[in-house]
């Protein structure tokens, strides 16, 4: 039996340099494998069985599935490298049911209220610095809803990923999968052009498209904080996260009868099964429509 711990670093390097997985994924892989290593010195069916029981006692189903998936990926690597003869996951039946959590969307009137506030801050800015920050913040939040992109994808945009002339944004999603999203709204194009004009020197120095005051790339946490402050200042009580713009993008397109396969491509989902969660949201919308709009409700019988 091999000492599997000797091959963890090799596996992480394989994931980084051969599979081109993101630093975030590599970090989670390391955490998960370190956790398993702390619990067991062997990698066999019995130890995995006990590990799954341990996880189910401590974590939510989504986290358990991720940690098991990490261990599966590692054992698959050992298998293809001929370091083990068979997968210890063979004949282990794993069924982890996650509760169906419908994606949370932002009401359109709330988005409208937020954007009115953001644009007003540009006009009310009393210094060049305030104006630059206001334009950048507006551009970031406009792009979130216009493209349905993940916040990490927007924060890691490079200057060459944004084609202002063609009105296209190139995103690199999970697994570095590339997709191009056109920008067809004049207001969104306008604020991006204005941002580029104000930040052209910072963008050139940094290399990333969205830049902070230290002339480094804007971080995901900075966007979350900026969004929360903006919502508080304009009186929005709903807790809004950057990812809710992605959910809203998909849900509202689906409600406009856009084919789910197009939405899948725009979101960068590998499987349409992932995108189909939004059909559940659309179903709840149907209930509201029938309750409030059906002509039978106008009959007094």
Catalytic residue among 7, 67, 150, 217: 150
Active site residue 150: yes
Q: What are phi and psi of 118, to 5 degrees?
A: -60, -45
Catalytic residue among 131, 159, 174, 285: 174
Catalytic residue among 67, 132, 247, 269: 269
Active site residue 136: no
Residue 279: its pLDDT value, please?
79
Q: Six-digit token pair at 85?
A: 């003869």
Domains and CATH numbers, the chain: 4-80 (1.10.150), 108-283 (1.10.443.10)
Reported as a pLDDT band with limits 50, 70 and 90, residue 23 is confident
Residue 281: its pLDDT value, please?
67
Active site residue 57: no
Reported as a pLDDT band with limits 50, 70 and 90, residue 215 is very high
**What digits encode the pLDDT tens for the residues 44-103?**
999 999 999 999 999 998 899 999 999 999 999 999 999 999 999 988 877 777 666 678
d(CA 144, CA 6): 42
286 pLDDT above the threshold of 80 = no
Catalytic residue among 132, 136, 246, 247: 246
Rounded average pLDDT over 150-176: 92
Shortest CA distance to 234 belongs to which of 143, 123, 112? 112
Q: What are phi and psi of 85, to 5 degrees?
A: -90, -25
Catalytic residue among 179, 194, 243, 280: 243
d(CA 169, CA 111): 22
Q: Six-digit token pair at 195?
A: 């941002």
Active site residue 246: yes
The pairs formed by 270-277 with CB atoms below 8 angstroms and a separation of 24 or more are 270/174, 270/175, 270/177, 275/250, 277/102, 277/103
Q: Is the pTM of this model over 0.85?
A: no
């Amino acid at each position: 039996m091999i000492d599997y711990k000797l091959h963890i670093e090799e596996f992480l390097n394989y994931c980084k340099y051969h599979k081109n997985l993101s630093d975030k994924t590599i970090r989670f892989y390391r955490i998960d494998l370190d956790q398993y290593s702390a619990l067991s010195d062997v990698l066999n069916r019995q130890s995995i069985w006990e590990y799954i029981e341990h996880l189910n006692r401590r974590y939510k189903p989504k986290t358990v599935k991720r940690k098991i998936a990490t261990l599966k990926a590692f054992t698959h690597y050992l298998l293809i490298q001929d370091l083990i003869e068979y997968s210890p996951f063979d004949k282990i039946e794993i069924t982890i049911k996650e509760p169906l959590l419908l994606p949370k969307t932002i009401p359109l009137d709330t988005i409208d209220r937020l954007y009115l506030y953001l644009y007003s801050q540009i006009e009310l800015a009393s210094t060049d610095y305030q104006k630059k920050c206001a334009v950048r913040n507006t551009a970031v939040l406009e792009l979130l809803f216009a493209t349905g992109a993940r916040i990490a994808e927007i924060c890691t945009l490079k200057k060459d990923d944004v084609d202002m002339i063609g009105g296209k944004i190139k995103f690199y999603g999970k697994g570095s999968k590339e997709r191009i999203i056109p920008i067809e709204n004049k207001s969104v194009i306008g604020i991006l052009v204005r941002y580029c004009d104000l930040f052209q020197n910072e963008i050139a120095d940094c290399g990333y498209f969205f830049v902070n005051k230290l002339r480094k790339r804007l971080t995901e946490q900075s966007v979350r904080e900026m969004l929360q402050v903006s919502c508080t200042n304009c009186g929005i009580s709903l807790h809004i996260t950057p990812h809710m713009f992605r959910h809203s993008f998909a849900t509202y397109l689906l409600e406009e009868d856009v084919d789910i396969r197009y939405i899948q491509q725009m979101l960068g989902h590998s499987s349409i099964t992932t995108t189909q969660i939004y059909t559940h949201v659309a179903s709840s919308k149907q209930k509201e429509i029938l309750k409030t709009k059906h002509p039978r409700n106008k009959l007094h019988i």
